[in-house]
Chain A
Amino acid sequence: MSTKLFELLLQASIYTVTISVVSILIGFAIAIIVSAMLLSRQRLFVLPGKIFISFFRGVPLLVQLLLIYNLLPVIGINVPSIVAAIVGLSLCTAAYQAENLRGGFASVPSGLVESAEMVGLTPMQIFRRIKAPIALRLTFPALVNEAILILKASSLVSVVGIVELTRMAQDLAGSTFLPLEIFASAGLIYLAINWIVALAGGLIERSLPGVPR
């Protein structure tokens, strides 16, 4: 396999990383809302949150992507397939991240919150200075894990025609008749990216302030 082919794979992997990073960030924003719904005292909010999580965790990501990709044009929203792919990945990861955040907020020691109330902090201050930092610290390892899962899951957006790493590998394997070398190289690139993410995640985790587990 020539270095030219490997370079093409590396270029395509930029799309893989970009799509994954954007989806993780959008997913995190949605997850904050969904986890707030889950932790709300209003039953009216809890049920939709639960259904959202159950659906996006219970249906294969491939099916979600196909559904979103085909549904958007039918209901009159014409978006490029890259947007459909990011919407699909974001909603899927939001469900997993929301469940993590819910767990994180639930395991903030109630004593800390009570003592903060005692010294007269407002609910907003308690959230900003106590609940949010501790919950984020507790859910950070899960967030790194989720980033790695999404990097791998982004291979599925190749089915809606986006030329990221997997789709590029597929195209090259078809045109060069070197499937073993090309898919193995693509696998190695995924492995390297995930290794870097895990390493960086571990470093950031150690430098984070907050409660160690």
Chain B
Amino acid sequence: MTFDINVIFSHLPEIASGAFVTIVIWIVAALAAAVLGFLVAVARRFGGVLLDRAFGIVIAVLRGTPFLIQIFLVYYGGPFIGLSLNPIPAGVVGLSIYGAAYFSEIFRSGFAAVPKGHIEAGLCVGLTHTQIVRRILLPEMTMLVLPPSLNMTIILMKETAVLSIITVPELTATLSAIGSQQYAFVEALFVLALFYWALVEITGWLGRLAETKLTRFRFFNI
């Protein structure tokens, strides 16, 4: 067995471009998923029983099926209902919807975990509905949803690898292609694994750092 890592380093520009696509798709999809998930959670809480039930079913379907099946449905099934997307937009749309299902559950449990007494106390001292949402519900919820949101963001980072299957030119696709052209599969996949490992560890570390800074006075707040 020969392990020649130089084969990989002679393709640095392509690898950099693949890594760039991975990171951009990840950030765009994670932000879209968080915003969409928040809107769904708000709609479920304030939109009446019917809306709550309908979203409940959609979320159960999204959480109960593999992401790969969902992305195939968007990419290969989309053209049959007049929605023809290139791989990158299809990937971003698929990843955002998939992530939104999980984010909406995170925000929903965040809403539910704010003690009722705090909201009642707000009503007692005469705060309006909007004031209660802005000054009590949202700030207290933020503290609660930070750790699971960080976790979900990291999961979405790892799911970007799946997009290589629908030919999105991200890092997994790039390195697999280099590996097969140069007969250096193992080297390429090692570099790939190390890249993801480092990115996930760094994100987790930065996230936990931000968490401790933001929740320093948590003990007194909740």
Hey, which bits of chain A sit against chain B, CB under 8 A? 54-55, 57-64, 66-67, 70-71, 74-76, 148, 152-156, 158-159, 166, 169-170, 173, 179-180, 183-184, 186-187, 190-191, 194-195
Contacts and interface: CB of A to CB of B under 8 A. Distances in A.
Contact of A67 (B67, B165, B190, B200): B190
A63 B161 contact: yes
B142 interface: no
B1 A75 contact: yes
Interface in B1-37: 1
17 contacts: A58-B196, A60-B196, A62-B161, A62-B172, A66-B176, A67-B192, A70-B189, A71-B186, A152-B67, A155-B68, A156-B66, A158-B68, A173-B72, A179-B80, A183-B72, A184-B73, A194-B64
Interface in B141-192: 158-162, 164-165, 172, 176, 179, 185-186, 189-190, 192
A76 B69 CA distance: 34
B81 interface: yes
Given A67-B190, A184-B77, 13 more contacts: A59-B196, A63-B172, A64-B193, A67-B189, A152-B65, A155-B68, A166-B66, A166-B69, A179-B73, A179-B76, A179-B77, A187-B73, A191-B60
A155 B193 CA distance: 20
B120 interface: no
B69 to A, nearest CB: 5
B72 A179 contact: yes
A58 B68 CA distance: 19
A6 to B, nearest CB: 15
A67 B65 contact: no
Interface of B: 1, 60-61, 64-70, 72-73, 76-77, 80-81, 158-162, 164-165, 172, 176, 179, 185-186, 189-190, 192-193, 196-197, 200-201
B189 A169 contact: no
* Listed residue (A60, A159, A173) with the most chain B CB atoms within 10 angstroms of its CB: A60
A187 B164 CA distance: 20
A72 B46 CA distance: 54
Give chain A's interface secondary structure class.
helix
Contact of A61 (B70, B80, B158, B192): B158
Closest 9 CB pairs of A and B: A155-B66, A60-B161, A179-B76, A180-B77, A60-B158, A58-B200, A187-B65, A152-B66, A70-B185
A173 B68 contact: no
A170 B176 contact: no
Nearest to A16: B66
Contact of A58 (B67, B77, B192, B197): B197
A71 B185 CA distance: 8
Nearest to A62: B161
Contacts of A66: 172, 176, 185, 189
Contacts of A158: 68
A102 B77 CA distance: 43
Contacts of A74: 1, 185-186
B77 to A, nearest CB: 4
A78 to B, nearest CB: 13
Contacts of B70: 187
Nearest to A178: B80
Given A159-B165, A179-B73, A190-B69, A58 B201 contact: yes
